[in-house]
Amino acid sequence: MLTLPATLTEREARGALDALALALQHEPAGAVVVDASALADFDSSALAVLLECQRRAHAAGRGFGVHQPSAKLASLARLYGVEELLLPAAAG
């Protein structure tokens, strides 16, 4: 399982994406799951990072999911119209 940092704003986005992309290469086969439980301070850059991780997972023929997204993250995803893409369980 990949893990998001506690803070993920525009300032941290490139580093977080690079770290997740590297970790993604070493994840065992199967769906890629990103743990969002530590994510506390974030902006829309967190959504961009998650969407790019999802794109890379799908390009590799793998599923993608976000584990323990906060209500705030789900709300932001809903605001930007990507809730069904990133958090399908919360969208229902």
Expressed as residue numbers, the domain containing 23 is 2-91
Q: At what angle do helices 44-59 and 71-79 cross, to 10 degrees?
A: 80
**pLDDT, tens digit, for every residue of 20-66?**
999 988 888 889 999 999 999 999 999 999 999 999 999 999 999 99
Q: Two tokens at 67?
A: 């584990």
Q: How many domains does the chain have?
A: 1
CA separation (Å) from 61 to 17, 38, 54, 57?
A: 19, 27, 11, 6
pLDDT band at 89 (very low <50, low <70, confident <90, very high): confident
Specify the CATH number for the domain of residue 30.
3.30.750.24
